[in-house]
Structure 1
């Protein structure tokens, strides 16, 4: 009985994070891009000595355009991945129908390469084939699993929503400041926002918090510094 409980996992429950990969990647990418691109845009326009209205207009336009761009980009790219997955599964389904014995041998070889004895590998391959041949080949030959399966709509909506939230943070900050202080204050607060985002995403994914925080803040600082330089060089002020 104790052994059975161990086999069904009741005595050793585990929580893994790979099922979060799809939406977490899109969420982090969207929020990070929202903060960095909008803050950089605000800083660049403010550094050019534009008035407050022009700075806010640029930021609002950047938010809308960026959210739509993120949604379209994620949908197209993840749809391409989904199309490839469907094509591979269709080909694998046809190969199973045409030569099941060769596919069984191929699956056996995969398990042998992973460390199983040939006889055990063949038995595992045979049982998995009887249970779900296509599922076994999708998982062990093609690397396609339910948790990592491409979901274009989910990626697009998540990325667009998180971009909008990320972009709203520096935009809201800028709305409370005079034009002369936008560049400095938005830069500092946006780096803080990026640090918090990096820490939260690392915690959600089980990664090192320090590494994630440093990574996002360094790249964000570089982006804002570059756009500030462009604003100063091409300034519209007197």
Structure 2
């Protein structure tokens, strides 16, 4: 319309306007650093490694692992399941994770699968009750807290448990390890496929290790007990040969 400047009824001192202080705009706040899921997991694994490495005895390791809050399973479990049997045993059995009965009692392998495990190893003269290290068993799991619904442990849960497993085996110092099932094989030797792995000696945590089918699998598939017996005989022969 041709208008280039509005005019009011009163005069305007434009020098006064120019001198008027301008409002101070604060600088933008520094962004808050957010950890990614991978960074968070790495931090929790590092904390697990620190706690495990500082434990000089099995009792200290158990206390450190039970106090570790980096694994969410702890919030839903009833009891901490560290180990059972004779810690001086020549044979350490590494299972997967506590089930319902294990969670109830706070000991690994005490349900139906555990009862079968006891009968299996009793057949070759080994027992978790034995005070003689030559005839004893020491039993633990990759996970010490029960996964909900007895689901398989997830990779991040295994990763946060592994520092404690490694230290556990270092402190117990067994001659031989039995890897019970796929999860134990995955954690210890980075492989799955227990039906292919079973019966074939490997090295786990710097020690001879024998993969075996889990007793829970044998309860569902009784014919597989034949192969399990062959594995037990292999374990017995290895013990006699290294005595």
Q: TM-score range by the shorter chain?
A: under 0.3
- Report which of the two structures shows the higher radius of gyration computed on alpha carbons: 2
Structure 1 length-normalised TM: 0.23
Structure of higher RCO (CA pairs closer than 8 Å, 6+ residues apart): 1
**Structure with greater helix share of residues:** 1
Structure 2 length-normalised TM: 0.23
